[in-house]
Amino acid sequence: MITGISPTTGTSATQGSSSLTNTLGENDFLKLLVAQMQNQDPMNPTDPTQYTAQLAQYSQLEQLIDVNTNLTSLSSTAGNSSQQTEQLSALSLLGKDVVSQGGSFELGSSSVDLGYQLPSAADSVTLQVLDQNQKVVARLQMSDTGAGEHYYSWDGTDSDGHAVAAGNYTLQVAADAGGSAISATPLVKGTVQGVDFTASGSTLATSVGTFNLSDVVSALNQ
């Protein structure tokens, strides 16, 4: 929950920078160059142009290391910025009604706003509520068959009007037009009561269960 936000992890250094440093660092290069100058044959000194070429190589090495370091820093900053933006988005939803796709929800002691989204008009739409054993406990015939989002307040009773047990359920939507099935997206609406930050992303604790922020398709009361 928001009262106990877990820390986020940073981005590791790139392999290129690590490999380059382990192979030949700036200090190592300078030590080799100085040693070469100290141990040259005084009767046959090394051509100055060779030192110039080696200094140029050192300069290129230094620049390459700086580029890799800057890229690593930029990658880490971008990753942290993205996480912070997501977390702020999740926090901004506290107290608001959100709509999640996927159909999973928790039934408590009150009704649940179930919904569906139709890409086009349908001839018939049926909602099916399944329990944890994938058994259909309620089959609901909908009257709203136009394109768009529609919602239905389910009171937690089965097809015979008997109350079902509290717990986890799944919503499925069956829709057809002209005798052919059309794609319909199940929706569940709930009020955000808390926020959790995990390694895999932000989650919202709502009045009808926990939703991944990535599954939220809209937010109300904004």
List, for residues 152-182, the tens digit of each pLDDT value.
999 999 988 999 999 999 999 999 999 999 9
Which two structure tokens, joined as six digits, stand for 118? 């139709």
Q: Is 198 helix (H, G, I), strand (E, B) or coil?
A: strand
What gap in Å lies between CA 57 and CA 198, rounded to an integer?
A: 46
When comparing pLDDT for 199 and 20, which is higher? 199
Neighbours of 216 (CB within 10 A): 19
- For residues 85-104, give the mean pLDDT: 91
What is the chain's Cα-based Rg? 31
pLDDT at 176: 97
| Cα separation, 72 vs 15, whole angstroms | 10
Rounded to whole angstroms, the Cα distance separating 31 from 35 reads 6
Q: Letter for the amino acid at 55?
A: L
In angstroms, rounded to a whole number, what is the distance separating the alpha carbons of residues 82 and 89? 11
Q: What's the half-sphere exposure (Cβ side, CA atoms, 13 Å) at 91?
A: 11
pTM of the model: 0.62
Residue 56: is its pLDDT beyond 90?
A: no
